[in-house]
Chain A
Amino acid sequence: MKQVTDFILVEKRDYGRSVLLRLRAETTLPDIVPGQFVQVRVDGSPNTYLRRPISIHDVDFGNNEITLLVQQVGEGTRHLAAAKEGDIINVVLPLGNGFSFPEKGERCLLVGGGIGIAPLYFFAKVLGKKGIQPVLLLGGKTETDLIRLADYQQLGDAFVTTEDGSLGEKGFVTMHSVWTERQFDKIYVCGPKPMMKAVAKLAAETDAWCEVSLENLMACGLGACLCCVEDTVDGHVCVCKEGPVFNTRRLKW
Chain B
Amino acid sequence: MVNTTIDLGRGLVLRNPVMTASGTFGYGEEYTDFVDLAQLGGIIVKGTTLHPREGNPYPRMAETPSGMLNCVGLQNKGVQYFIDTIYPRIKDFDTNVLLNLSGSTLEDYVKGAEMVNELEKLPAIELNVSCPNVKQGGMAFGVTTTGISQVVSEVRKVYHKHLMVKLSPNVTNIAEIALAAEAAGADSVSLINTLMGMAIDAEKRKPKLSVITGGLSGACVKPVALRMVWQVAKAVKIPVVGLGGISNATDAVEFMLAGASAIEIGTANFIDPAVSAKVAVGITDYCKRFGFQSVIELIGALEC
Enumerate chain A interface residues (CB-CB to B < 8 A): 1-4, 41, 46-51, 92, 216-231, 235-236, 241
Contact = CB atoms under 8 A, between A and B. Distances in A.
A219 B65 CA distance: 14
14 contacts: A41-B272, A49-B64, A49-B68, A49-B218, A217-B58, A219-B68, A220-B24, A222-B30, A223-B30, A224-B25, A225-B72, A226-B60, A227-B61, A229-B55
B26 A222 contact: yes
A46 B66 contact: yes
Contacts of B24: 220, 224-225
A50 B270 contact: yes
Contacts of A230: 58
A227 B33 CA distance: 21
Given A1-B33, A231-B58, A236-B55, A92 B70 contact: no
B66 A224 contact: no
Contact of B273 (A222, A229, A231): A222
Interface in B202-261: 218-219
Interface in B47-73: 54-55, 57-68, 70, 72
B81 interface: no
Interface string B160-189: 000000000000000000000000000000
A89 to B, nearest CB: 14
A224 B54 contact: no
Contacts of A228: 58, 60-61
Given A46-B65, A49-B64, A217 B30 contact: no
A22 to B, nearest CB: 24
Contact of B61 (A4, A92, A225, A241): A225
A226 B71 CA distance: 10
A79 B62 CA distance: 19
B270 A220 contact: yes
B63 A216 contact: no
B23 interface: yes
Contact of B63 (A2, A3, A49, A225): A49
A223 B70 contact: no
The dominant DSSP class at the B interface is loop
Contacts of B34: 2-4
B117 interface: no
The dominant DSSP class at the A interface is loop
Given A49-B64, A51-B270, A226-B60, 13 more contacts: A2-B34, A41-B271, A41-B272, A49-B271, A220-B270, A220-B273, A222-B31, A224-B26, A225-B23, A225-B70, A225-B270, A226-B46, A229-B55
Contacts of A51: 270-271
B60 A50 contact: no
B39 interface: no
A40 to B, nearest CB: 11
Contacts of B55: 226, 229, 236
Contacts of B273: 2, 4, 92, 220, 222
A236 B210 CA distance: 14
Given A51-B270, A222-B31, A236 B59 contact: no
B65 A49 contact: yes
B65 A47 contact: yes
B75 A236 contact: yes
Contacts of B62: 217
- Most chain B CB within 10 A, of A47, A48, A219, is at A219
A224 B65 contact: no
B75 A50 contact: no
A134 B65 CA distance: 43
Nearest to B70: A227
A66 B34 CA distance: 20
B219 to A, nearest CB: 7
Contacts of A218: 61
A115 B3 CA distance: 53
A217 B61 CA distance: 7
Counting from the closest, the 7 A-B pairs by CB-CB distance are A224-B26, A227-B61, A2-B33, A220-B270, A222-B30, A224-B30, A227-B60
